[in-house]
Amino acid sequence: MPELPEVETTARGIAPFLLGQRFVSIRVNQPSLRWPIPPDFSQRLVNELCLSVTRRAKYLMIETQTTKILSHLGMSGSFRLVDANTPLKIHDHVQIQVGDLELRYHDPRRFGCLLWADSERARKLIDNLGPEPLSDEFCGEWLYKLAKRRTIGVKSFIMTNSVVVGVGNIYASESLFLAGIHPARPANRISHARYNDLAAQVKKVLTCAIEAGGTTLRDFVNGQGEPGYFQQALSVYGRVGDPCKRCRRAIGSRMIAGRNSFFCPRCQT
Give the pLDDT confidence of 101-153 residue by residue, as tens digits: 999 999 999 999 999 999 999 999 999 999 999 999 999 999 999 999 999 99
Domain-located, residue 268 = no
Q: Extract the runs of DSSP E, i.e. beta strands, from the chain.
A: 25-28, 50-56, 59-64, 68-72, 78-83, 92-98, 101-106, 113-116, 252-256, 259-263
Note whether 167 and 236 are same-domain residues: yes
Per-residue pLDDT, 96? 98
Note whether 156 and 117 are same-domain residues: no
Q: Could you tell me the pTM of the whole model?
A: 0.90
Closest to 5 (Cα-Cα) out of 240, 237, 193, 269: 237
Is 259 annotated as catalytic?
Answer: yes
Taking only the tens place, the pLDDT of each residue in 58-89 is: 999 999 999 999 999 999 999 999 999 999 99
Taking only the tens place, the pLDDT of each residue in 208-260 is: 999 887 664 454 454 455 544 466 789 999 999 999 999 999 999 999 988 89
How buried is 257 (Cβ within 10 angstroms: 0-12 exposed, 13-18 middle, 19+ buried)?
middle
Q: CA–CA separation, 109 vs 44, rounded Å?
A: 26
Per-residue pLDDT, 85? 94
Please tell me the total count of domains within the chain.
2
Given a cut of 50, is residue 154 above it in pLDDT? yes
Given a cut of 80, is residue 1 above it in pLDDT? no
Beta bridge partners of 215: none
Is 58 annotated as catalytic?
Answer: yes
Q: CA–CA separation, 88 vs 118, rounded Å?
A: 30
Instruction: List the CATH number of the domain containing 108.
Output: 3.20.190.10
The residue from 55, 58, 104, 239 that is catalytic is 58
Per-residue pLDDT, averaged over 35-40, amounts to 98
Domain-located, residue 132 = no
Is 44 annotated as catalytic?
Answer: no
Per-residue pLDDT, 143? 99
CB-CB contact of 235 with 219 (8 Å): no
The residue from 2, 5, 38, 133 that is catalytic is 2
Note whether 145 and 226 are same-domain residues: yes
Count the alpha carbons within 13 Å of 53 in the hemisphere toward its beta carbon.
20
Note whether 103 and 158 are same-domain residues: no
Note whether 197 and 250 are same-domain residues: yes
Domain-located, residue 56 = yes
Per-residue pLDDT, 212? 83
The residue from 109, 259, 265, 266 that is catalytic is 259
Per-residue pLDDT, 215? 64
Q: Which of 126, 156, 190 is the last residue of a domain?
A: 126
CB-CB contact of 198 with 158 (8 Å): yes
Per-residue pLDDT, 217? 45
Per-residue pLDDT, averaged over 172-179, amounts to 97
Q: Is 179 helix (H, G, I), strand (E, B) or coil?
A: helix
Q: Which of 97, 126, 155 is the last residue of a domain?
A: 126
| Distance between start and end Cα atoms, the chain | 27
Q: Which domain holds residue 119?
A: 4-126
Note whether 107 and 182 are same-domain residues: no
Is 89 annotated as catalytic?
Answer: no
Q: CA–CA separation, 214 vs 162, rounded Å?
A: 23
Per-residue pLDDT, 3? 86
Note whether 184 and 159 are same-domain residues: yes
Q: Which of 126, 150, 178 is the last residue of a domain?
A: 126
Per-residue pLDDT, 222? 46
- Band of the pLDDT at 2, cuts 50, 70, 90? confident
